[in-house]
Chains A and B, each alone.
Chain A
Amino acid sequence: MAGSTLASPSDEAPALARPPASPGRETWRRFRRHRLALASVGVLALLVGGVVFGGFLWPVAIDDIDFAAQLQGPSWDHPFGTDDLGQDLLARMIYGGRISLAVGFAAMAVASLIGVLVGALAGMSRRLLDPVLMWLTDLFLSLPQLPLLLLVIYLFRDSLKAVFGSQGGVFLMIVAVIGGLRWMPVARLVRAQFLSLREKEFVEAARSQGATAAHLVRRHILPNALGPVIVAASIEVSAAIIAESTLSFLGLGFPPDIPTWGRLLFDAKDHLDVAPHWALFPGGAIFLTVLSINFIGDGLRDALDPRRVL
């Protein structure tokens, strides 16, 4: 809004039609208006519910080898078909999905947390901290990600395994590596938002009332900066799932016996011509997860912004 435009859109007569609702309800009402986001919540709930509770509904062992049923397409016995060892793909996807989704959300949390922290510190600093943190961000951005990932995994896989066990160690390492290498976009976004918000008049108004810097950040700057961060974070989830898939695809993620969605894709690639279903189901699951999380992020951003007339 340009400072020179007239700020008053109408007369003094109040044009307040709706009674004020409580903020939580209001947010939910706004979110419901976003149809795609609402549908995406359903899809994501189905996926999460599927991987969490699917094991009870489909109690088939993931490592049941049945050479009589190699590379079968979907059937009543094996709804998602089987792989080259005759293992049931539905059971494997339920099991692996837990890990894929957990990696996605945990890595998102790590990346967003570091990103918001670095961005906020840089955005509020008026001295040396800002350039230093931004150099660090640029440094991280310029690192080639995949080789670095490979190097870290090569160096630390065994020591972590020793401490946290094979699955736990790899999980921690992958979350740390993906989260630790993907915070930069969030940090830049947050910094840019902070830089513009901290000069806004309402922040200055709060400052003139005696607010401390911490109060300004907590009550005024961060809530207003969060919209783009939510969208970025939702993209981060998808990026983490895909990154994990890439690692597993390269055979460097979880051990081969843990069928994460990415690992399933990796295994399926040699049989694409005879058993396309093997790749289609995990690929479709990743696709649906990523898409629905992005839509939910969109909807959340709109719903959390009281200025939007929805």
Chain B
Amino acid sequence: MADPVDPILSVSDLTVSFRSDGRWREVVHGVSFDVGPRETVALVGESGSGKSVSALSILRLLPRDASRIGGRVRFAGRELLAAPEAEMRRVRGDAIAMIFQEPMTSLNPVLTIGFQIAEALIRHRGLSRSAAEAEALRLLDKVRIPAARSRLHEYPHRFSGGMRQRVMIAMALACRPKLLIADEPTTALDVTIQAQILDLIKSLQDEEGMSVLFITHDMGVVAEIADRTVVMYRGRAVEAGPTARIFEAPVEPYTRSLLAAVPRLGTMAGRARPMRFPVVDRTTGLAAPTPETPDTVQAAERPVLEVRDLTTRFDIRSGLLGRVTGRVHAVEGVSFSIAAGETLALVGESGCGKSTTGRAILRLVEPLSGSVLLDGEDIIGLDPKALRARRQRMQMIFQDPFASLDPRMSVGAAVAEPLLINRLAAPREARRRAEDLLARVGLGPETAGRFPHEFSGGQRQRICIARALALNPRLIVADEAVSALDVSVKAQVVNLMLDLQAELGLAYLFISHDMAVVERVSHRVAVMYLGEIVEIGPRAAVFGDPQHPYTRKLLAAVPVPDPARRGERHALPDDEIRSPIRAPDYVPPERLYREVSPGHVVQDRGAGWTGSAAGEAAA
């Protein structure tokens, strides 16, 4: 790349090998890229593509005895791979700073954040304690932490995830680094918080004049932030170039398939039914035509699931006698229904009660009040035995497919288990059925004897789907079922779920925080905020004509995988997601709902709605 100015970081022919079982295995094969001054370069790729390893090896943070780094890494005229360890320590955190994915674990919980920032300043910049504290305060102001002066002496647990990531960024900025390496800094955060952090990184980069190496798997984030993009696949940089060029005219087949699999908000305008993701050939990069999904909704019949005024609260007890000192109002007066063959998406940010709603419907947590009608029969109040029988008709798919499979049980046994538990088949018959089910989700019968750890994430999720199908359920509650998967795998699993819905007439309660995927798969959408549904309606109506300020804010925060539309977004206020914890004597206010169009119902924001006023201003 012929840059007019010298790059600040120049990585050429980087190879990284790890030792496993006494053998060296190369995981990064000759990666080269440059980062110019004040430039943001994104390393993008799916998990296992070697993007994080590449970044860690730039700072030589990999375990020295189990890894080998080859090639050249030049930073500001210095060769980093040949530098002595003492010099590397000066580079780390001083000239190059790094922020990580998990803001929850990167701060020491027993020290105040002011102390932790000041510590870095005293060590690296040689400031006195009082000067360091003043500087720490300035940095907290800089990363837009509200009321920074009063929060300087608080401990990390008092900060939310987004605020902690701000603290981490403040620490990274402490020594005015020339280069900031950000390793998936927003992956663990909610969309509205992610948008805030991305905005923050962008504006800080302008103010401080740093370069940023941004590692992510999210093409939307790339489009939002990067000047140039390096696409990584299986340890190789398959394509590099200006972000706009990569998005407009990808050359490599892999880049094309990756971009085709990225769900884009707004592509579904004018379509009533869910749509499959296009299937792209990895070798040619050509997309096969997307078959139209049939109309699966059985609107005339009685809905499979009718939920009325479902409320779930958790007591918070403290003190010696375990007195109730507060309640988490996880789900408050939630009502909706799902017809056979219909997908209702439940969207919202972490802590909004969407998962609890899903669990309460299956009575995996006991709801406090309300009714859950499955095929017209209320399952609240059923005795355990009757409940177990009803659970056959509703199944659940969980977010983490590895955690939801027993590591000691072979895949065939796991899929056959529901049949055996409910005495629906003899062991031999159950085995055979399990193989059929595995075949149905695209796995060969020979996989039945293997254990979950031998499969990739997408395959494990297929196994979980096969297990959920074993009992011929009418309803499947998919709790963030595709959120942990890579984009291309996510597309495949979503396609599988749509195919199964068309074949079997399944009803889905699709719980997700990912608005773009939700737009793709759902017939209707319900938006949850602080335990309540604030807006529910047909997908086209909710996405096309959002009425509630929170829905608008949520939609505005979704990163758009289109660099041309960068900056179109409204600036988001730096507020946090509010907590649903209330005093024990709290009585939730009466909510009023109004119908905007047929089926599209919005919570009237009277005195009850206390969300951000800026969300309304943005509208």
Interface check A9, CB cutoff 8 A: yes
Instruction: Using A16-B454, A210-B388, A210-B389 as known contacts, say yes or no to A7 and B484 having CB atoms under 8 A apart.
Output: yes
Q: Is B164 an interface residue (CB 8 A)?
A: no
Chain B interface residue count, CB cutoff 8 Å, equals: 57
| Residue pair B453, A306 in contact (C-beta under 8 Å) | yes
Our pick among A10, A210, A220 for the contact of B48 (Cβ within 8 Å) is A10
A209 touches B391 (CB 8 A): yes
**Contact A206:B492 (CB < 8 A) given known A200-B403, A307-B407:** no
**Chain B 376-401 near chain A by CB (<8 Å), digits 1 or 0:** 00000000000011011011101111
Which residues 207-221 in A have Cβ within 8 Å of B in the complex?
207-212, 215, 219-220
Q: Which of B448-490 contact A (CB under 8 A)?
A: 449-451, 453-460, 464, 467, 470-471, 484-486, 488-489
Q: B421: CB under 8 A from chain A?
A: yes
A8 CB-CB contact with B under 8 Å: yes
B456 touches A206 (CB 8 A): no
- B422 and A201 contacting across the interface, CB-CB below 8 Å: no
Across chains A and B, the number of contacting residue pairs, with CB separation under 8 Å, is: 145
- The distance in angstroms between the C-alpha atoms of A305 and B48, with both chains bound, is 25
Q: Which residues of B contact A223 (CB under 8 A)?
A: 406, 408
Contact present for A205 and B404 (CB under 8 Å): yes
Give the most central of B394, B406, B446: most A CB within 10 Å.
B406
B406/A208 in contact, CB under 8 A: no
Residue of A8, A16, A305 with highest tally of chain B CB at under 10 A? A8
With contacts A210-B421, A224-B406 known, is A10 near B456, CB below 8 A?
yes
Q: Are B404 and A6 in contact (CB under 8 A)?
A: no
Per-residue B-contact encoding for A1-35, CB less than 8 Å = 1, 0 else:
11111111111111110001001000000000000
**Given A8-B458, A202-B404, A307-B451, A211 contacting B47 (CB threshold 8 A):** no
Separation of A90 and B396 alpha carbons in the complex (Å): 65
Contact of A6 with B403 in the complex, beta carbons under 8 Å: no
On whether the beta carbons of B399 and A3 are closer than 8 Å, the reply is yes
User: B401 — which chain A residues lie within 8 A by C-beta?
Assistant: 7
Let me know if A64 is at the binding interface, CB within 8 A: no
Q: B464 near A9 (CB under 8 angstroms)?
A: no
Is A204 interfacial (CB-CB < 8 Å)? yes
Cβ–Cβ contact A210 & B451, under 8 A: no
Asked whether B398 lies within 8 Å of A201 as measured between CB atoms, the reply is yes
Residues of A within 8 A of B402 (CB): 1, 7
Q: Is B418 an interface residue (CB 8 A)?
A: yes
Which chain A positions have C-beta within 8 A of B391?
Answer: 208-210
Q: Which residues from 168 to 200 on chain B have a C-beta closer than 8 Å to any C-beta of chain A?
A: 187-188
Chain B contact residues, majority secondary structure: loop
Q: Residue-by-residue, is B42-80 near A (CB-CB < 8 Å gives 1, otherwise 0)? A: 000011100000000000000000000000000000000
| B414-428 near A? 1/0 per residue, CB < 8 Å | 000110011000000
For the complex formed, measure the closest distance between the CB of A216 and the CB atoms of chain B, giving whole angstroms: 10
How many residues on the A side are at the interface (Cβ–Cβ under 8 A)?
38
Nearest B residue to A202 by beta-carbon distance?
Answer: B406
Which A residues are CB-close (under 8 A) to B48? Answer: 8-11
Q: How far is the CB of A286 from chain B (nearest CB, A)?
A: 34
Whether A4 lies near B450 (C-beta < 8 A) is no
Given A7-B401, A205-B396, A210-B392, also A224-B458 (CB < 8 A): no
B411 to chain A, nearest CB (A): 10
Most chain-B Cβ atoms within 10 A of its Cβ — which of A12, A208, A306? A208
Whether the pair B403, A215 counts as a contact (CB closer than 8 A) is no
A12 to B490: give the CA distance in the assembly, Å.
11
Q: Which residues of A contact B362 (CB under 8 A)?
A: 208
A residues near B406, Cβ cutoff 8 Å: 202, 206, 219-220, 223-224
Interface residues of B (CB under 8 A from A): 46-48, 101-102, 187-188, 217, 362, 364, 388-389, 391-392, 394-396, 398-410, 417-418, 421-422, 446-447, 449-451, 453-460, 464, 467, 470-471, 484-486, 488-489, 492
Interface residues of A (CB under 8 A from B): 1-16, 20, 23, 200-202, 204-212, 215, 219-220, 223-224, 305-307
User: Could you list some 5 contacts between A and B, CB below 8 A?
Assistant: A7-B457, A9-B47, A205-B405, A219-B406, A219-B409
A12-B456, A211-B417, A219-B406 given. 7 additional CB < 8 A pairs?
A7-B402, A9-B48, A10-B456, A16-B447, A201-B399, A207-B364, A208-B362
